[in-house]
Amino acid sequence: MERKKDINAVSIDMLLIVHSEKRRAAQGTHSDQQADPSALLQRRGGFQGVGNGVRRWQKLEGNDLHENLVEKQHPQQPQVITSYDSQGTQLTVEVHPQNAMPQLLKKFSLAKRLQADKNGNTRPRQPGGKDAHAYPWDRSSLKSMSLDLQQFEKLDIYASQVTAKSGLDELVSDLLQEAHTDLERVRAIWIWICHHIEYDIVAAQEKDRQAFKPTDILRTQKTNCDGYAGLFERMCRIAGVQCMTVPGYSKGFGYRTGQSFSGEFDHAWNAVYLEGRWHLVDSTWGSGLVDTTTSKFTFLYNEFYFLTHPALFIEDHFPDNKNWQLLKPPQSLRQFENNMYHKSEFYNKGMLSAHPETPMIRTVNGKATVTIESCAPTLFMFMLNGKQEHGLLSLRKNGMKLEVYPPTMGTHKLQIFAKGNSDIYSSVLEYTLKCNYVDMGVRLPTELHQPVGPSWFSEQMGIMKPSHPDPIIHTSDGRCSISFSVEEGISVLASLHGDDGPITEETQRRYIFQLHREKRTELKVQLPQAGKFALKIFVKKRQEPGNYIFVFNYLLCCANTKVNWPMFPESFGNWGQDSELLEPLSGVLPANRHIPFKLKLHGIAKVLVKGQDTWPLTLNHEGYWEGSCSTAGCQEVYVMVLENANHSFYSYILKYKVNAQ
């Protein structure tokens, strides 16, 4: 090319390769990961736990992700010029030496070429009606296409163990050794990125830093969300699979329930073309966790963000172009802002729906109720303003019910956690609670732990057929009797807790007396005063070492201010599982009285009651030991047993106090 009239004109021999693609994403810095109740680990939108380190997408001029991801594999790097038209279409021109083979052509020689349309164009088609999924979610699948994850096991192991190479071509070539379909190629790339690329928190905090180049990413094995998305797209294109980077907003770290989104996009993810339709992936959120307190990244794979169903993906990803929602009908930004946000662990742990369906709840007469439906029995817990207080959470076979009573008027933060097969609770839902009235008659005991009431979990732990299936028990005289069947080999322990009154750590089991009749265990409870109390139930396998495990509790309520029951007698280790006490049940005996005794004991040779003197009990024809004892001149009374008639050593099994004269 010559320009003779221009003294600055030059003559250039060159080969032009022109790319026409939709403008791609900006880098982002939010994260999604659900926290356990201690709220240490976070993952979402770039990643939670870091500031907004997003490249300023709207202000980009002359550079884009594709340019920045051009790989330097030759000493003579081609010059790249990129520009955009008013519709956001990208035009990239590469200038190569006359005899050089363009890297782009070499790249496609690795596997297969990108699918071309009838005109021979390789530009990915824009999403249309055939790509759209119905909204809201139909509960059919967490994925946008039918998958059997077990079929990926061998491929996943292989891809996760492939080592990083100096160049993308070589890396993708290795990954594709075990991948034979487009789906398997995408899966191998996804697995490798999620298991090898670490989220770069420092880079994410530098808001205007340019996107990472593949050579930098492979060398450091670190990047931010823009780098994740760009690397995923580049590797898919090398593998011959159509892929796009999608910029948009995300509900990640720093997200506040009901907040508005405007200005720069804060995240980037990918759309990949498989089996004639577009599908969504987010390798940033699939890779791991950022600890917001230490700013350290931990790899923790999250399957949820691979080919996520669009009706679920829209809960925390809002693309710049509504077509990339892949939904029918598409959601508006206002709907995205106001819709309930179910975190990925909500669906990973088998939950289906929650009510209310809005993120903001207003109390009614001082109470708010939340229910969750799940496809399998699941353990739940909650926190109101960071504490496990002021609520009643009962487990159901397929979900849970939570009633919350905020202690003050105003705005409160309600978090709900769920536990799957692991020992860690994960955050699944978060509500903002508005309370304009406090019911002063509802004050729950501080020691009322979750869950309340028997459930599938208590059955699993060996407690079945409870006499009181409801979690709340009302008593007018301050007494109640609760019974249930207990699995063979299980020991039961119970304790009573209240915020006021005479109950202390030493006496919390003295207001409960445990009886065993046939195959049922009975708990007799006497309240020391009116009020609300937590009756906590624990179990333990007798033959195994270790502590008792908390199973559930009842809420006991008594409004009778005349109630003033004494403690039960203190029992010792030799008080057997099949022992039964009929009288006296009060742990405090009157002075200078003859007190009748009647109890059933098994495998005992002799029974004595010891005050100032010793009083033997006799065994009647019904199997009860009977007799009486005088409380004159003593402060304590003991029941003692002799297990072997050939021995002379007696063991204490019960202890009573005697009222002072």
In the block, tokens 């989220």 appear at 199
Going by pLDDT thresholds of 50, 70 and 90, the confidence category of residue 200 is confident
CA 337 to chain centre: 22
Q: What is the DSSP letter of 67?
A: H
The residue among 170, 190, 460 whose CA lies nearest residue 301 is: 190
Shared-domain flag, residues 598 and 483: no
Q: What is the DSSP letter of 176?
A: G
Q: For residue 339, tell me if it sits in a domain.
A: no
Q: For residue 189, tell me if it sits in a domain.
A: yes
d(CA 407, CA 655): 41
d(CA 417, CA 401): 13
Tens digits of residue pLDDT in 149-165: 999 999 999 999 999 88
Buried b (16+ CB within 10 A) or exposed e, 597-618: bbbbbeebebbbbbbeeebebe
Q: What's the whole-number mean pLDDT along residues 423-432?
A: 92
Shared-domain flag, residues 542 and 467: yes
Tens digits of residue pLDDT in 477-501: 999 999 999 998 898 999 999 987 7
d(CA 63, CA 107): 22
Residue 209 exposure: Cα atoms within 13 Å on the Cβ side: 21
Q: What is the DSSP string of 521-580?
A: EEEEEE-SSSEEEEEEEEEEETTS-S--EEEEEEEEEE--TT----PPPEE-TTS-TT-E
Say what the pLDDT of residue 210 is. 54
Going by pLDDT thresholds of 50, 70 and 90, the confidence category of residue 519 is confident
Shared-domain flag, residues 467 and 422: no
Domain that includes residue 380, residue range:
349-427
Does residue 308 come out as left (phi exceeding 0), alpha (psi in the -120 to 50 range) or beta? beta
Say what the pLDDT of residue 62 is. 28
Going by pLDDT thresholds of 50, 70 and 90, the confidence category of residue 518 is confident
Structural contact between residues 566 and 586, judged by C-beta atoms closer than 8 angstroms? yes
Shared-domain flag, residues 563 and 584: no
Q: What is the DSSP letter of 277?
A: E
What SS3 state is found at 283? Answer: helix
Structural contact between residues 175 and 161, judged by C-beta atoms closer than 8 angstroms? no
Between 542 and 244, name the one with better pLDDT. Answer: 244
Say what the pLDDT of residue 579 is. 82
Say what the pLDDT of residue 79 is. 53
Say what the pLDDT of residue 209 is. 52
Q: Provide the angle, in degrees to the nearest 10, between the axes of the packed helices 168-175 and 182-196.
A: 120
Instruction: Classify strands 399-404 and 391-396 as parallel, antiparallel or unpaired.
Output: antiparallel
φ, ψ dihedrals at 645, nearest 5°: -65, -20
Neighbours of 139 (CB within 10 A): 12
Going by pLDDT thresholds of 50, 70 and 90, the confidence category of residue 214 is confident
Token pair listed for 578: 């099949």
CATH number for position 560:
2.60.40.10
Q: What is the DSSP string of 303-351?
A: GGGEEE-HHHHTTTEEESSGGGG-EESPPPHHHHHHS----HHHHHTTE
Given CA atoms 333, 339, 345, 346 in this order, what sign does their dihedral have? negative
Model's pTM, two decimal places?
0.78
Shared-domain flag, residues 188 and 278: yes
Q: Which of 568, 583, 615 is the last residue of a domain?
A: 568
Q: For residue 379, tell me if it sits in a domain.
A: yes
Buried b (16+ CB within 10 A) or exposed e, 1-27: eeeeeeeeeeeeeeeeeeeebbbbbbb
d(CA 197, CA 222): 5
Shared-domain flag, residues 38 and 100: yes
Residues annotated as catalytic are: 225, 267, 282
Tens digits of residue pLDDT in 351-361: 999 999 999 99
Q: What is the DSSP letter of 113?
A: P
How many residues does this entry show for the chain?
A: 661
Token pair listed for 479: 């007494």
Among the residue ranges 183-197, 313-327, 330-344, 644-658, the one predicted with the least confidence is 644-658
> Cα angle vertex 511, ends 508, 514, to 5°?
105
Q: Which of 308, 333, 362 is the last residue of a domain?
A: 308
Q: Domain total for the chain?
A: 4
Tens digits of residue pLDDT in 53-62: 333 333 222 2
The residue among 483, 469, 474 whose CA lies nearest residue 397 is: 469
Shared-domain flag, residues 518 and 619: no
Shared-domain flag, residues 472 and 407: no
Q: Which of 551, 568, 585 is the last residue of a domain?
A: 568
Q: For residue 35, tell me if it sits in a domain.
A: yes
Structural contact between residues 411 and 430, judged by C-beta atoms closer than 8 angstroms? no
The residue among 632, 608, 630, 631 whose CA lies nearest residue 619 is: 608
Q: For residue 439, tell me if it sits in a domain.
A: no
Shared-domain flag, residues 472 and 553: yes
Structural contact between residues 36 and 415, judged by C-beta atoms closer than 8 angstroms? no
Say what the pLDDT of residue 82 is. 43
Q: What's the whole-number mean pLDDT along residues 22-33?
A: 38
Say what the pLDDT of residue 506 is. 73
Say what the pLDDT of residue 69 is. 32
Q: For residue 621, tell me if it sits in a domain.
A: yes
Shared-domain flag, residues 237 and 177: yes
Shared-domain flag, residues 221 and 358: no
Q: What's the whole-number mean pLDDT along residues 447-458?
A: 96
Shared-domain flag, residues 210 and 277: yes
d(CA 457, CA 460): 5
State yes or no: pLDDT of 320 exceeds 90. Answer: yes
Q: For residue 126, tell me if it sits in a domain.
A: no
Q: For residue 316, tell me if it sits in a domain.
A: no
Say what the pLDDT of residue 609 is. 96
Structural contact between residues 331 and 340, judged by C-beta atoms closer than 8 angstroms? no
Q: What's the whole-number mean pLDDT along residues 277-284?
A: 97
Token pair listed for 401: 């019910």
The residue among 321, 334, 351 whose CA lies nearest residue 417 is: 351
Q: Where are the alpha helices (DSSP H) in 321-444?
A: 333-338, 344-348
